[in-house]
Amino acid sequence: MDDKEKIDDINKLIDSELINFTRELDNVKSLSELESIKTKYTGKKSFLTVTLRNIGSLPGQLRPIIGNKSNAARKKIEADILKKEQILKGVEYEKKLREENIDLSLPGRGIKAGKKNIISSVIEEIEEIFIGMGFEIAEGPEVETDYYNFEALNTPADHPARSLHDTFFVSDRVLLRTHTSPVQIRYMEKNKPPIFIIVPGKVYRRDYDVTHTPMFTQIEGLVVDKGINFGNLKWTIETFAYEIFGKKRKVRFRPHYFPFTEPSAEVDVSCNICGGKGCRSCSGSGWLEILGAGMVDPNLYKFVGYDPEEVSGFAFGMGIERICMLKYGIDDLRLFFENDLRFIDQF
């Protein structure tokens, strides 16, 4: 066999390999079928791979001719396989979609992002208002002793005011704080006047109905310095109330009693639903109570080593849930703790 015959011979084999490949490829219906064709025509034992591997055994002048022809054939085969693969993948994807019944025209479900609880947002808002007036933020423990929760707040064991607090006791002298007021004592013990603090935190009482939950949130305020008077208290509370509820609301102070303040007051804002005329929300009074306050009873100073002749102060305490309810017109306190997204999402 001379060179020309040899070339013709191999060329024919390559051509018929291509013809076979094209015919078989046409019949391929799945990716797995395609995979076996790929092995058959480009794998280690395929005609083209073997030809290219053995090219060294051909006479030198034949090598480039056979090499080029084989490489071109192999490239064509690989390109055709790739093309077919893309077609089949599209077909299989659509088949999968059809089988899984995915309706691409349906609106997406979206991802629910977490958000700040309304109580936290209102605490932050209140903190901002008081920080703007020069107050600092302080904290104290939720598990408290009888001493700080009652005794040092002028509420000894036999004091009638104790029965107003339905206390959770941990042991005889240890309890869950019923208010944030004990932090007044803790802070005064560790610091000297001037004191300007607010104290946000959780408090606990054995209560459960539309307006009471066993855990709720309070913010306490305490100011102690030389020459602090009731006028300072009034200005501070009014400024706060206008900031949080808006300037249109009226604010009034009503005489009240707390063991740790003297004189004491409860503070109301005018009802926003009836504008002060009286309605169901304000029980016909036109007013809604927002907090308790008063001048620090000088008796407290002896528990912390202050001289009552030297300093005076005022304190106030409010329930955050109540402030939220009045601000947003929410009528059931329990909604804050039920984690119903339909409620939470509104804020």
CB crowding 38-59: b at 16 or more within 10 Å, else e: beebbeeebbbeebbeeeeebe
Among 200, 201, 292, 313, the residue binding ligand DAH under the rule CB under 6 A is: 292
Q: How many residues bind ligand DAH (CB under 6 A)?
A: 11
| Listed residue (254, 253, 262, 248) closest to 308, CA to CA | 262
Binding mask 138-177 for ligand DAH (x = CB under 6 A): ----------------------------------------
Separation CA 16–CA 12 (nearest Å): 6
Piece in contact with ligand DAH (CB under 6 A), picked from 56-64, 84-92, 279-287, 288-296: 288-296
Residue with tokens 């107050």: 135
Would you count residue 315 as binding ligand DAH (CB under 6 A)? yes
Binding mask 202-231 for ligand DAH (x = CB under 6 A): ------------------x-----------
E strands along the chain, which residues? 136-137, 143-145, 174-176, 195-204, 215-225, 251-258, 261-270, 287-296, 312-319
- The DSSP-derived string for 174-231 is EEE-SSSTHHHHHHHHH--S-EEEEEEEEEE-S--BTTB-SEEEEEEEEEEETT--HH
Instruction: Name beta bridge partners: 174.
Output: 145
For residues 4 and 58, is the Cβ–Cβ distance under 8 A? no
CB of 315 to ligand DAH, least distance (A): 3
Would you count residue 258 as binding ligand DAH (CB under 6 A)? yes
Cis peptide before 64 (omega within 30 of 0): no
Give 315 or 320: the residue with its C-beta nearer to ligand DAH: 315
The number of residues making up the chain comes to: 347
Would you count residue 179 as binding ligand DAH (CB under 6 A)? yes
Q: Which residue is nearest to ligand DAH (CB)?
A: 317
Would you count residue 200 as binding ligand DAH (CB under 6 A)? no
Would you count residue 201 as binding ligand DAH (CB under 6 A)? no
Piece in contact with ligand DAH (CB under 6 A), picked from 8-16, 101-109, 297-305, 312-320: 312-320
Write the single-letter amino acid at 51.
T
Would you count residue 317 as binding ligand DAH (CB under 6 A)? yes
Piece in contact with ligand DAH (CB under 6 A), picked from 19-27, 32-40, 93-101, 315-323: 315-323
Give 64 or 194: the residue with its C-beta nearer to ligand DAH: 194
Structure-token pair, residue 110: 């979206």
Piece in contact with ligand DAH (CB under 6 A), picked from 42-50, 111-119, 131-139, 309-317: 309-317
Binding site for ligand DAH (CB under 6 A): 179, 181, 220, 258, 261, 292-294, 315-317
